[in-house]
Amino acid sequence: MKQQSSHPGTFSHWEARIPLLLTYVILIAGAFVMIMPFAWMVSTSIKPDREIFGDSIQWLPSELDMQNYTDAFEQTNMPRLFANTVLVTAVAVASQVLLGSMAGYVFARLHFRGKMLLFFALLTTMMVPFEVLIIPVFLLIRFFPLAGGNDLFGQGGTGLINTLGGVMFPNFVSVFGVFLFRQFYLGFPKEIEEAAIVDGCSRVGVYWRILIPNSKPVMGTMALFAFLWSWNDFLWPLVVVKEDSLKTIQLGLSVFDQEQGTAWAELMAASVMAVVPVILLYIFLQRFLVSGGLTSGLKG
């Protein structure tokens, strides 16, 4: 195999520039397309109606009009929507990280009869979209024993329907998480663990003292995905939640989806409010990804 270090300097600056320029042109043009809708959303949200529905496109508002935000805030009960969504999402993230890392450890490191069978059974369910199971899961939540007035056999009440618990339930664990953690732990050097076991460390101890402290990148990744899934979940809350006071932000936004004449300015203002916290959180969580998984290979 050729060693890159044996050919230093064969790569001239002149040759490098053209691909670099092309890279930038493509990437920036692409980024423009990706970002344009958001820019347009923000621009619409701060414009008065006459500029939104004018004869020609007005890129920037002539004056900053925050009225749309106060209107949207009042019409949707924003604080409540946020509180519900944050709670549901926090539980999903914490639970998926914890359960995913535990199961991932077992599948990566421990051996027992039927392990591969079980793992492939779980892996197969990753191919099963949740939407396909909406009927049985709805029935499971509807006839959940001992909840919402139900008896032990799930009869008599409404189960977990119309509760935040019902919204959370399908999000406690993800197969993707199990898979993600397993892959990460498989790539983790075994020697450290073996040394620890020789030193008398238990298996739980290996998981707890060695794997967990080194799982930051994968945890960040898992947390980000769990966060996005839960925050953006729409179909399930739509089916489970009946009451305004339990709605998540996604459901709350659909309040604006009126039949006759959509209030675009307010709708865009509400959308901005719904998406800004997510973007901020993403940028925060992204540092986990940057310092960990995704770019580690670039450093050499």
Alpha helix segments (H runs only) across the chain? 13-45, 49-52, 67-76, 78-109, 115-126, 134-142, 164-168, 175-186, 190-198, 203-205, 216-232, 235-240, 249-253, 264-291
Residues 217-256 that bind another protein (CB under 8 A): 217, 219, 228, 231-232, 234-235, 238-240, 242-244, 246, 249-250, 253-256
Least distance to another protein from the beta carbon of 62, Å? 17
Residues 128-187 that bind another protein (CB under 8 A): 128-140, 142, 147-149, 157-158, 160-166, 168-170, 172-173, 175, 178
Does 195 help bind another protein (rule: CB under 8 A)?
Answer: no
Residues 197-216 that bind another protein (CB under 8 A): 202-204, 207-209, 212-216
Which span (65-73, 112-120, 188-196) binds another protein, by CB under 8 A?
A: 112-120
- What are the CA-CA distances from residue 206 to residues 98, 99, 101, 195, 293 (Å)? 15, 16, 13, 10, 21
Question: Which of 115, 151, 195, 284 is the binder for another protein (CB under 8 A)?
Answer: 115
| 8 A C-beta contact, residue 170 and residue 137 | yes
**Residues shown for the chain:** 300
Residues 46-65 that bind another protein (CB under 8 A): 52-53, 57
Least distance to another protein from the beta carbon of 82, Å? 13
Least distance to another protein from the beta carbon of 265, Å? 10
Residues 227 and 282: their CA atoms lie apart, in Å, by 9
| Between 62 and 286, CB nearer to another protein | 286
Number of residues forming the site for another protein (CB under 8 A): 143
Residues 19 and 291: their CA atoms lie apart, in Å, by 27
User: What is the token pair recorded at 297?
Assistant: 């290979």
Does 269 help bind another protein (rule: CB under 8 A)?
Answer: no
Residues 22-51 that bind another protein (CB under 8 A): 23-24, 26-28, 30-31, 33-38, 40-41, 44
| 8 A C-beta contact, residue 171 and residue 233 | yes
